[in-house]
Every structure is written in C-alpha cells, then in structure tokens.
C-alpha cells in the first residue's frame, strides 16, 4: 500500500479520535452539571420535606415563617423542575455516553500508537480496525440526545480545553 493511503488512515484516525475526545469532554461537563442540579434538588427537598416545613413554620417568628414559606416554595419548584427535566435519566444517559466515548477514544489511541510504532503496518488490517471504530463512533453519536444545557459556549470551552490537552498531537 502506498504512503498516501497510510497517511490518510493516520489523519482519519486522528479526526475520529479528536471527535470522540470532544464528545467525551462534553458528556463529562453535562454530567457534572446535571449531577449538581440533582444533588442540589435532593438537598433542598430533603431540608424542606413536609415534616421539616411544618416544624420550620412552628419554630419561626412571623418574618421567619415568610422566609421559610419562600424556601419551601423554591423547594417545590426545584422538585417539579427536577421531575419535568428527567434529571435522573439525563445523569444516567450522560454517564453512559461519557463511558462509551472514553472507551472508544482509548481504542483509537491504541490503534494510533500501534501504527506509530510500526511504520510498515498491514494497511488492510488497520484500515479494517479503524472502520470498525468509526462504525462504533457513528453508532454512539446516534445515541446522543439533544440537551438544553449543551450550548455553543459549553462546546466552545470544551474544544478549547481539548486543543490545549492534545496540543502536541494537533501539531503533528
């Protein structure tokens, strides 16, 4: 096989590696944010549970009762929002997504390291392995759901982080 095909395989494998790494970082950032919302909601709801709210109302003076009522109202809003957004499902989905992209990224790293260590690698074998990894990437991307908090700003910051993290590989 000629050098051009090997070079193209190298470039294509890097592109897929980069895309996987990017999706892994985005999934990690989204997972962090959804877990934070989940934890905050659980704490607020636990603190203002009906028994606590009744105890709070009876213990506080007039101004305290109003403050407690506001806190209990905010807690109810958190609970409704938590349920409406399906936070536990989102946490589970982003956990799975992060794991899948991380595994795929590591498999691509391994493939690329093997190619780098053996300049005379069997093109057909490695191309076949790459195409299987690309198929897995495509399959995983089809599972990624749109998310309200996946913004351009978040994606841009994850891309900046990724570019810094693998700067030495980008310059190759």
What confidence score (pLDDT) does residue 44 get? 79
What does the pLDDT read at residue 53?
A: 55
The pLDDT of residue 31? 97
Number of domains the chain is built from: 1
Listed in sequence order, the residues at least 6 apart from 109 whose beta carbon sits closer than 8 Å to its beta carbon are: 17
pLDDT value of residue 155: 98
Q: What is the pLDDT of residue 130?
A: 98
pLDDT of residue 83: 83
pLDDT of residue 78: 79
State residue 81's pLDDT score. 82
Q: What is the mean pLDDT of each run of 10 residues along the chain (172 residues)?
A: 81 97 98 93 76 59 66 80 86 97 98 94 96 98 94 98 93 61
- In this prediction, residue 73 carries a pLDDT of 79
List the domain range (segments joined by +) for residue 81: 3-170
Model pLDDT, residue 50:
60
Q: Which residues, other chains included, contact 126 with Cβ-Cβ below 8 Å and sequence gap of 6+?
A: 9, 111, 114, 115
Ordered DSSP codes for 132-150: HHHHHHHHHHHHPPP-TT-
State the pLDDT at residue 56. 60
What does the pLDDT read at residue 2?
55
Rounded CA-CA distance 84/168 in Å is: 44
């Amino acid at each position: 096989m000629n050098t051009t095909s090997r070079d193209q395989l190298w470039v294509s494998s890097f592109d897929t590696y980069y895309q996987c790494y990017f999706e892994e970082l985005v999934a990690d950032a989204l997972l962090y944010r959804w877990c934070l919302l989940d934890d905050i909601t659980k704490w607020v709801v636990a603190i203002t549970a009906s028994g606590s709210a009744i105890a709070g109302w009876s213990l506080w003076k007039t101004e305290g009762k109003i403050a407690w009522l506001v806190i209990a109202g905010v807690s109810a809003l958190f609970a409704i929002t938590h349920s409406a957004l399906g936070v536990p499902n989102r946490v589970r989905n982003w956990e799975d997504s992060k794991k899948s992209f991380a595994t795929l990224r590591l498999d691509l790293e391994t493939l690329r390291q093997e190619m780098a260590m053996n300049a005379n690698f069997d093109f057909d074998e490695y191309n076949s392995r790459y195409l299987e990894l690309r198929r897995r990437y495509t399959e995983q991307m089809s599972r990624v759901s749109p998310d309200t908090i996946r913004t351009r700003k978040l994606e841009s910051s994850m891309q900046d982080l990724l570019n810094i993290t693998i700067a030495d590989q980008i310059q190759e």
